[in-house]
Amino acid sequence: MHRTRVSRHLAAPRAAVYRMLLDPEAVARWRVPDGMSARVHAFDAREGGLFRVSLTYEGPGTGKSGARTDTYHGRFARLVPDERIVEVLEFETPDPALRGAMTLTTTLADAPGGGTDVTVDHEGLPDAVPAADNETGTRMALGRLAALLDGEEPADHPA
């Protein structure tokens, strides 16, 4: 198991960023790497609330849960409005190398000069998921979030 950390500055205030992190329709649009689409099956955005999301490769790709799909489920372990979201999640997979609970902590802080600094810590990442791939996917997703907060439809962003 290993850990990744990715940070990004967003021009929007913390309250706006926090709302986007917990809005299932927005999550389906931004919390996905380039070249994939997301489907939110369940999303109860409260402490203890459950979620389930599938990411599907738009082109050829090997998924963790199926031929072209990565599905994960989990719960919101802690919600601190406008500051922090802690999720405990797990891939739905028959592969023991990809199993196990992971913790995803998203922290929001006021940025000097305005906007929000977002830090995403992913702990307990299975060794079968390369850290560099996880970091790249997180950067892509945060790029999509930035576009959405700027009033644009998210498009593919380079990592």
CATH architecture, domain 2-33+77-149: 2-Layer Sandwich (3.30)
Give the pLDDT confidence score for residue 157 in this predicted structure.
38
CA distance 132 to 118: 19
pTM summary value: 0.90
Q: Given a cut of 60, is residue 152 above it in pLDDT?
A: yes
Question: b/e string for 22-44 if b means 16 or more Cβ within 10 A?
Answer: bbbebbbbbbbbbebebebeebe
CA distance 128 to 152: 34
**Per-residue model confidence as pLDDT tens digits over 100-146:** 999 999 999 999 999 999 999 999 999 999 999 999 999 999 999 99
Q: Given a cut of 60, is residue 158 above it in pLDDT?
A: no
Q: What is the mean pLDDT of residues 86-98?
A: 94
Q: What is the mean pLDDT of residues 78-98?
A: 96
Residue in this structure with the two tokens 């979030």, named with its chain if needed: 145
Dihedral sign, Cα of residue 133, residue 103, residue 38, residue 12? negative
**Beta-bridge partner residues of 56:** 37, 69
**Per-residue model confidence as pLDDT tens digits over 59-75:** 765 656 556 788 999 99
Give how far the C-alpha of residue 64 lies from the chain's centroid of Cα atoms, to the nearest Å: 16
Q: What is the mean pLDDT of residues 40-44?
A: 98
Instruction: For residue 154, name the pLDDT band (cuts at 50, 70, 90).
Output: low
